[in-house]
Amino acid sequence: MLALEGMPLGHRFTFLEPAPDPPAGRLGEVIAAPYDDPVALARIAAGADVVTYEFENVPAASAAYLARRVPVLPPPRALGATQDRLAEKQMFDSLGIPTAPFHRLDTTADLDPALAVTGLPTVVKTRRFGYDGKGQIVARSAGEAAAALDTLGAGLIAERFIHFERELSIVAVRGRGGHRICYPLAENHHRDGILRTSHAPAPGVTTLLQGTAEELAGRIMDQLDYVGVLAIELFELDGRLLANEMAPRVHNSGHWTLDGADASQFENHIRAITGFPLARPRVPAPAAMLNIIGALPDPAAIASVPGTHLHLYDKAPRPGRKLGHVNITGPDEAAVRAGAEQVWALLPGEPPVLPIGARHG
C-alpha cells in the first residue's frame, strides 16, 4: 500500500523481503533475503534515497547498518524503543504518559514485586516479538503468573489487567521539519488477539480527548525525533487515556484512511520520509475498516454493499492471516454501521463481540 500510494508521487520502490513471492513483487524489484543479509543490505544502501519499514521486528542492527549509509526513517531509535515492551513503557513513563502499572518479569524473584505493582489479574507478555496477541497470557493468580513465566521464558513484562472501556488508536505523522498531523482517533475491536475492525472518527470522542491523544503522540515523536507514521494504541478508561503500545509504521487501524480521508496514512508516510510537506487530512464523513482474515470472501458480494472499498493484498489464504480489508464510507455513522453489518455477514469469522461505540463494563 505504501508503494501503491507512493508511485503516483513519483517514487520507485525496492523491497527487502525474506518470504518467497511477496505481493510487493508486482510493484517493484524484490531483494529476496533475510533482513540481516549483508549483501542485500549493501544493495539497498547503494540504491535507495531513503529506507523505511512496515514491520517493527526488523533487526535493529540492520537498521543501524543502513542508517550509516542512507537515511532510515522512522529513525532506528524508534525500532529500539518499540521492540522491547519494557523500554517502551519506561519511555512512556519518562514522558509522563499514563500507562497500566507494569514491572519487569525475568525470574521467579520478580514475581512478588511485579504482582505488588500490577495486582491480579496480571497480563504477562514477552518483551520482544509479540504480535497479534501472540506471546501474552492473562494470569489470574500468583500460580498462573509463575506458570506463564515458565511457558513464555525469560524477558517478560507484567502489566496490570485494565478493564478498559474501549481501545482507541491514534495515527500521527511527523515530517522531517518536525511538523505533525494526526488522524482522528479510531475505535478498535479485536478477536483472538487480532484486530478485526476500526471505526473512525471513534464515536463520541471529544475535542479534549482527541487533543490529549495528539499531544501525547507529539511528546513521543519529539522525544524520538521521529519522521513518518507512528501509531499508538490507547485504552480509554473513565475519560482518560492509557498508552498500551506503539508501532513505528503505518498501522492496520489506519487503513481506513485510504478511503475515509483525502490523504491516507500511506501517502503521508511517504511524504514524511521524503521530506515533503505533510497533507493535513480531511475526513468528511465516518469510515470503517474490516479486516479479511484467513479466507477470502466473494469480492463481487462485497462490492455490492454500498460504500465498500475492497483492498486485497494478493496473499494466499491461511488461518489467521490478514488477506485484505474492506473500507466502508458513507454519509453518516448510521450508514457506515449498516454497511459494516452487511460486510460482516460476508466475511469469514465472527464480528466483534461488542458493537462499535459500546463500552466494556
From the CB of 137, what's the least distance to a second copy, in Å? 37
- Tell me if 213 sits within 8 A of 232, measured CB to CB: yes
DSSP per-residue string spanning 73-128: SS-HHHHHHHH-HHHHHHHHHHTT-----EEEESSGGGHHHHHHHH-SSEEEEESS
- One residue of 59, 203, 299, 349 binding a second copy per CB under 8 A: 299
Using CB under 8 A as the binding rule, whether residue 360 contacts a second copy is answered as no
Judged by beta carbon, residue 6 or residue 74, the one nearer a second copy is 6
Member of 18, 26, 113, 116 binding a second copy (CB under 8 A): 26
User: 169 or 308, CB closer to a second copy?
Assistant: 308
Under the binding rule (CB under 8 A), the answer on residue 7 touching a second copy is yes
Q: Where are the beta strands (DSSP E) in the chain?
A: 14-16, 29-31, 102-105, 122-126, 136-139, 156-160, 166-174, 180-182, 186-191, 194-200, 228-237, 240-247, 287-293, 308-312, 322-329
d(CA 345, CA 351): 8
How many residues are listed for the chain in this entry?
A: 361
Min CB(184)–a second copy separation in Å:
16
CB nearer a second copy, residue 25 or residue 155:
25
Q: How many residues bind a second copy (CB under 8 A)?
A: 37
CB neighbours (10 Å) of residue 308?
23
CB atoms near residue 361 (< 10 Å): 6
Choice between 33 and 310, CB closer to a second copy: 310
Q: Which of 20, 109, 206, 282 binds a second copy (CB under 8 A)?
A: 282
Q: Which C-beta is closer to a second copy: that of 50 or that of 137?
A: 50
Q: Using CB under 8 A, which of 36, 314, 341, 350 touches a second copy?
A: 314
| Position 277 contacts a second copy (CB under 8 A) | yes
Cβ count within 10 A of residue 68: 9
Torsion region of 94: left, alpha or beta (phi above 0 gives left; psi -120 to 50 gives alpha): alpha
Applying CB under 8 A, does 28 fall inside the site for a second copy? yes
Residue 43 or 309: the one with the smaller Cβ distance to a second copy is 309
Contact positions vs a second copy (CB under 8 A): 4, 7-10, 12, 26-28, 259, 262-263, 271, 275-277, 279-280, 282, 284-285, 299-300, 303-304, 306-312, 314, 324, 329-331
